[in-house]
Structure 1
Amino acid sequence: MSSQTSHSGNILVVDDSPDNVFLIKTILEEEGYIINTAENGFSALAQLQALPCDLVLLDLMMPGMDGYEVTRRIRGEMQLQQYIPILLITAHDTPNVARGLDLGADDFIRKPVTVDELLARVRSLLRLKRSMDERDEIARQREDFVSRLTHDLRTPLVAADRMLTLFQQGALGTLSPQMQEAIVIMARSNINLLSMVNTLLEVYRFEAGRKTLAFQPVDLSQLLQEVVGELTPLAQPKGLIINLDFDYTADSSTVSGDRLELHRLFTNLISNAIKFTESGSVNIRLKNQISSQSPPTAKITDYITVEIADTGRGIPAAEQATLFERFRQGSHKISGSGLGLYLSRRIVEAHHGSIVVNSELGKGSIFIVSLPIKQ
Structure 2
Amino acid sequence: MAFKNDMSRLVKKLRRRNRFILVVLSAIGILLVYLISSTHLLQREKTKQLILQKLRAISITASEQIDGDAHEYVVNTFNSKNDVRSSKDDSVYHKLHAQLKRIKRINEIASPIYTMVFNADHNEYEFIVTSSDEPYYRHMFVNYPTELRMNYNIGGVIDEYKTENGTWLSAFAPIKNSKGEVVAILQVDQEFDSFLEEAHSDLIKNILVASVLFVPFMILLFSYMRNVLTKEEQNQLLLEERNEEIEIQNEMIKEANLKLEKANLIIQARNDTLDKQVKKRTKELLEANQDLETFLYRSSHDIQGPIASLKGVVNLAQADITNGIDYYNFIHASVNQLETRVRGINAVFEIKKQELDWVQLSIREVFDEVVADQCKKLDFSDVDLIFGDNALIKSDRTILNVLFSELVKNSIMYRDGENVKIHLTTELVGQKHIRITYKDNGLGIDADQQNTIFDMFKRGNEKSQGSGLGLYAVKLALEKLHGNISLLNARNGVTFQINLPR
Question: TM-score, normalization: structure 2?
Answer: 0.38
Give the number of the structure whose residues are more often helix, by fraction: 2
Higher Rg of the two aligned structures: 2
Q: TM-score, normalised by structure 1?
A: 0.48
